[in-house]
């Protein structure tokens, strides 16, 4: 009976280790996803700023020629 209990304990320990490793991997992937989303948001905001600057520069172009 002792060997059966030992086998069950080993299997349970292996199961716990696998669950912990999977949770750590998922946490790392979630952090990487959050970082990538933040970088994407910053890039999008910067592209919008550049687009607005270009539109303003195009609007000022004809006004300078008239002046």
Res 64: pLDDT: 57
Rounded Cα–Cα distance for residues 54 and 46 (Å): 12
pLDDT in tens, 1-10: 568 789 999 9
Tell me the two tokens of residue 53. 């600057």
SS3 percent helix, strand, coil of the chain, rounded to 5, is: 95, 0, 5
**Distance between CA 50 and CA 46 in Å, rounded?**
6
| Residue pLDDT, tens place only, 8-44 | 999 999 999 999 999 999 999 999 999 999 999 999 9
* Residue bearing tokens 């998922």: 26
- Quote the pTM value: 0.65
């Amino acid at each position: 009976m002792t060997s059966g209990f030992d086998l069950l304990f080993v299997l349970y320990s292996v199961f716990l280790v696998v669950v912990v490793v999977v949770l750590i991997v998922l946490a790392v992937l979630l952090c990487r996803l959050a970082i990538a989303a933040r970088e994407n948001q910053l890039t999008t905001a910067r592209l919008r700023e550049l687009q607005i600057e270009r539109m303003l520069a195009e609007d000022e172009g004809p006004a300078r020629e008239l002046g």
